[in-house]
Amino acid sequence: MKIKYFIISALLFLTGCIGVNRQFSEVKDKILGKFGNDFKTEFQFSVGSTLINISSLVVGLEGSHEYIDNMMREISSVQVGVYNRIKGSNNRADFSLLQTIDEEMSGNGLKYIVRTINNDEMTAVYVNEDPGEVLHKMFVISLNDDELVIVEVNGDLRQVIAYAIEEQNFQIKM
C-alpha cells in the first residue's frame, strides 16, 4: 500500500502536477478576498515541464502540427484555476477590483498589456515588467457573472508568439 502512494507521489512530482505555487495562490486570494465567499473552486492545477515535454513528444509523433510541438517545447509551466460564482451573489467586476489586481501584479513584477471591463465582465493580461528581459511570464485573468479563470504561463513566450505568427503567415518581424 505504501508503495502505491510513493509511486503516485513520485509521478505527480516528476510531471509537475502538484498544485499551484504561492504567487498564483496570492493573486487568487487577493481577487477572491474582494468577493468574500462568492466563489467555489471548480479546479486548479499546475503542469510542469516534464509533462509538457511528454505531451510535446506525443504531438510530435502525430506529425501534422510541428509548430504546436515547437511552441510546447518553449513553455516550462502552466497553472490554471477555475472558480465558479455561487448563485445569488451580488458582487461584480468593477474598476476598484481591477486596481487591486494591478497593485498585486505590479508587486510581483508584472504589468498589464491588456485590461478591459465591459458590463460585468473583466479581462486582464499581465506580462513580466522588464521589457529588456525575454518575455517569460504571462498571467490572464478573466471574470464574468459565472466564473473567475486565472491562467499563468511560463517559458520563452516571445518564441511561442513567433511560432504562432510564423504558422499563420503574418508578415511581422520580431
Q: Considering the entire predicted model, what is its pTM?
A: 0.77
- Report the pLDDT value the prediction gives residue 126, as an integer from 0 to 100: 92
Q: By C-alpha distance, which of 138, 134, 34, 33 is closest to 80?
A: 138
- Report the pLDDT value the prediction gives residue 152, as an integer from 0 to 100: 92
Give percent of the chain with pLDDT exceeding 70.
75
> Phi and psi of 4, rounded to 5°?
-60, -45
pLDDT digits (tens, 9 = 90+) for 72-128: 788 888 899 999 988 777 777 788 888 888 888 898 888 999 999 888 889 999 998
- Report the pLDDT value the prediction gives residue 56, as an integer from 0 to 100: 65
- Report the pLDDT value the prediction gives residue 15, as an integer from 0 to 100: 44
Enter the C-alpha cell of residue 173: 518581424
- Report the pLDDT value the prediction gives residue 124, as an integer from 0 to 100: 92
Cβ atoms of 122 and 34 closer than 8 Å: no
